[in-house]
Amino acid sequence: MKKLVGCPNWKEYQSLNGWVMFCSAGAYGKKLTAEEARSCGCTLVQKSKCKKLMEHNVGFGLVPEIYKEVLVKEKRTERDPALTPGR
C-alpha cells in the first residue's frame, strides 16, 4: 500500500488490530525549524490532515512544533553530556 503522507517522519504499518499511522517527529517530541518543516512539507494544512489521520486510526495525534531556527540551535548545543554514576 502506498503511504498516505509523503513525509520522512510519517510511519504506518499493519498491526494485528489494524493500521497504525503516526508522525515520528511528533511522537518523539522532535523540534523542527521552519526550514526543516518546509523541506518535508509540514505545513499547517498538512499538520491538521496528519493529526486527523492519527486520531482516526490510533485515537490521538501528536504533531511536531515548529520553532525559530535560533531557539532550536540553542537547545541542541546547550545540552550537557549524559554522565554515568560512579565514573
**pLDDT (tens digit, 9 = 90+) per residue, 36-48?**
888 888 888 998 9
CA-closest candidate to residue 36, choices 61, 66, 6, 63: 66
Decide: 8 and 25 in contact? Cβ < 8 Å. Answer: no
> Residue 28 corresponds to which cell in the numbers above?
518523539
> d(Cα 47, Cα 26) in Å, to the nearest integer?
10
> Residue 75 corresponds to which cell in the numbers above?
537547545
This prediction has a pTM of 0.66
**pLDDT (tens digit, 9 = 90+) per residue, 4-52?**
888 888 898 888 988 888 999 888 888 888 888 888 888 889 989 999 9
